[in-house]
């Protein structure tokens, strides 16, 4: 038997008979989640009308910008692995990395194969993200390089300073992981030393 549930709760589930009420869903992502739970088209039933503009009206401005930034990050990754990225295109955070890349390539540069729906131009410019910035994790073929926003003066021009700072961050992370594993092993030892109790302990 299938019970009513929200689009959020239904994620990851497959329903043989999927009865969907789309009227109160707020976005096209929610429409997709609700309808894609169906195993077959024959087993899908939409119980009342819905607003088609939520599907045909295009994505929100935030999601539109997210797709554009992902296209630039994809180009940066490809150039990095081809050893075509200059040292000055560097950033401790996502926004900083994208800014330095656009400064190098030009503010109106659009990578090839970007879909027409998300291409930017002078009339529809690339917006600077106002979302809280995150540290960048760059994985190379030999090792994982971790960078975190420790200093605003970190501009990528001094390679020796950059390597020293990255190694400091990595040693801090490794030290934290070592402390965690040590605490975990001590807790296991204490648990093994405790006598076994046949009755439940209670509160």
Q: pTM to 2 decimals?
A: 0.49
Q: Quick one: which of 104, 37, 46 has its CA closest to 75?
A: 104
Q: What average pLDDT does this structure show over 102-124?
A: 91
Longest dimension (CA), the chain: 74
What pLDDT does residue 145 have? 45
Q: How do residues 144-160 score in pLDDT, each as one tens digit?
A: 444 444 444 444 445 55
Domain residue extents for the chain: 18-56, 61-160
SS3 call for 140? coil
């Amino acid at each position: 038997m299938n019970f009513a549930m929200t689009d959020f709760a239904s994620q990851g589930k497959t329903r043989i008979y999927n009865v969907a009420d789309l009227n109160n869903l707020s976005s096209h992502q929610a429409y997709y989640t609700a309808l894609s739970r169906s195993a077959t088209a024959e087993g899908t039933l939409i119980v009342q009308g819905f607003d088609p503009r939520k599907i045909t009206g295009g994505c929100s401005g935030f999601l539109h910008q997210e797709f554009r930034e992902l296209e630039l990050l994809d180009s940066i990754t490809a150039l990095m692995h081809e050893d075509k990225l200059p040292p000055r295109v560097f950033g401790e955070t996502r926004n900083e990395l994208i800014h330095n890349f656009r400064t190098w390539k030009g503010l109106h540069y659009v990578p090839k194969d970007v879909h027409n729906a998300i291409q930017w131009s002078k009339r529809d410019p690339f917006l600077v993200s106002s979302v809280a910035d995150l540290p960048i994790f760059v994985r190379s073929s030999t090792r994982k390089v971790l960078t975190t926003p420790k200093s605003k003066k970190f501009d990528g021009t001094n390679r020796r300073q950059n390597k020293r700072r990255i190694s400091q961050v990595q040693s801090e992370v490794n030290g934290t992981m070592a402390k965690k594993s040590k605490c975990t092993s001590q807790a296991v030892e204490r648990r093994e030393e405790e006598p076994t109790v046949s009755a439940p302990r209670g509160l």
